[in-house]
Amino acid sequence: MAHDTSGADALRGVVLFAHGSRDPLWRAPIEAVEARMRQQAPGLEVRCAYLELAEPDLPTAVRGLAARGVRRLTVVPMFLGTGKHAREDLPQLVQALRAEHPDMAITVQGAIGEDVRMTALMAEIASAETATQG
């Protein structure tokens, strides 16, 4: 029997989904976003997950969130653009996760790098760095 996942009181979660790397320094910025989100919204369940080369993968992260009672999940692709991973790999993974977790409403945002706020911030940072170089 499916539960109502649309209610405002349903426990919410976010997965920051990135490519992954064996290098722990590569993961540091994504994990910093996770830590900041947890600090800003203590009631929100936030996890990082990776396509490859790092743990946990997306299915493992989602299973952990489901075990904690998350019923409304947003997956945030931590990519600069919508390439093959965001366009093909992620939808396939999410389709399988929806079948595995029918009581969980799973939504996927667009690639974070395509958000106008992010492109504006990147331009601002790049411009500031260029200006300081004289």
pLDDT tens for each residue of 67-125: 999 999 999 999 999 888 888 899 999 999 999 999 999 999 999 999 999 999 999 99
The residues facing 16 across adjacent strands are 48, 76
Cα–Cα distance list, 59 to 39, 43, 66, 97 (Å): 24, 22, 10, 7
Confidence of residue 9 (pLDDT cuts 50, 70, 90): low
Alpha-carbon distance of 106 to 62, in angstroms, equals 10
Confidence of residue 5 (pLDDT cuts 50, 70, 90): very low
Architecture of domain 11-132: 3-Layer(aba) Sandwich (3.40)
| Catalytic-residue membership of 85 | no
Number of residues in the chain: 134
Q: What is the pTM of this model?
A: 0.88
What is the predicted pLDDT for the residue at 87? 86
What is the predicted pLDDT for the residue at 14? 98
Report the amino acid identity of residue 64: G
Average per-residue pLDDT for the chain = 91
What is the predicted pLDDT for the residue at 48? 98
Confidence of residue 21 (pLDDT cuts 50, 70, 90): very high
Domain ranges of the chain: 11-132
The residues facing 77 across adjacent strands are 17
What is the predicted pLDDT for the residue at 83? 84
User: Are 34 and 2 contacting, i.e. CB atoms less than 8 angstroms apart?
Assistant: no
The residues facing 50 across adjacent strands are 18, 57
Active-site hit among 3, 19, 85, 101? 19
Taking residues 56-61, what's their average pLDDT?
Answer: 98
